[in-house]
């Protein structure tokens, strides 16, 4: 994980995501998930590129089942975009960096 992405746990989810002053893209992932690993470099690049405008957060679903259940995460990677404390967009599965960036631009 890069210095510009934020690891979020069940206990810190409200403060880091729901109460964030900037939009947050949350990556629900797991260490054993190959598609999750495939999109990780793109997410890290976007976290650096959009630093200060968008927060990129990662939630390990094996270690943080409460948040994953709360948002009905059934497959990973699932990316939820939060703005003002609510989900405004959902993306499921591995996708190219350009599609991820389009989703970010749409929320700015």
Closest residue by Cα to residue 53 from 22, 86, 84: 22
What does the alpha-carbon distance between residue 96 and residue 94 come to, in Å, rounded to a whole number?
A: 7
Q: Answer whether residue 6 shows pLDDT above 80.
A: yes
**Mean pLDDT of all residues in the chain?**
96
At a CB cut-off of 8 Å and minimum separation 6, what does 73 contact?
28, 61
pLDDT confidence of 102, banded at 50, 70, 90? Answer: very high
65: preceding bond cis by omega (within 30 degrees):
no
Q: Which domains does the chain have, with CATH numbers?
A: 5-107 (3.40.30.10)
Catalytic position from the list 33, 39, 56, 57: 33
Burial of 89 (0-12, 13-18, 19+ CB in 10 A): middle
pLDDT digits (tens, 9 = 90+) for 35-72: 999 999 999 999 999 999 999 999 999 999 999 999 99
Catalytic residue check, 33: yes
Global pTM value: 0.95
Catalytic position from the list 17, 26, 36, 43: 36
């Amino acid at each position: 994980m890069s210095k510009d992405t934020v690891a979020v746990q069940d206990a810190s989810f409200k403060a880091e995501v729901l109460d964030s002053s900037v939009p947050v893209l949350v990556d629900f992932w797991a260490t054993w998930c190959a598609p999750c690993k495939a999109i990780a470099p793109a997410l890290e690049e976007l976290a650096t590129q959009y630093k200060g405008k968008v927060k990129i957060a990662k939630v390990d679903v094996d270690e943080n089942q409460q948040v994953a259940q709360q948002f009905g995460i059934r497959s990973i990677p699932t990316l939820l975009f939060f703005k003002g404390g609510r989900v405004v967009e959902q993306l499921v599965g591995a996708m190219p960096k350009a599609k991820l960036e389009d989703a970010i631009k749409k929320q700015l």
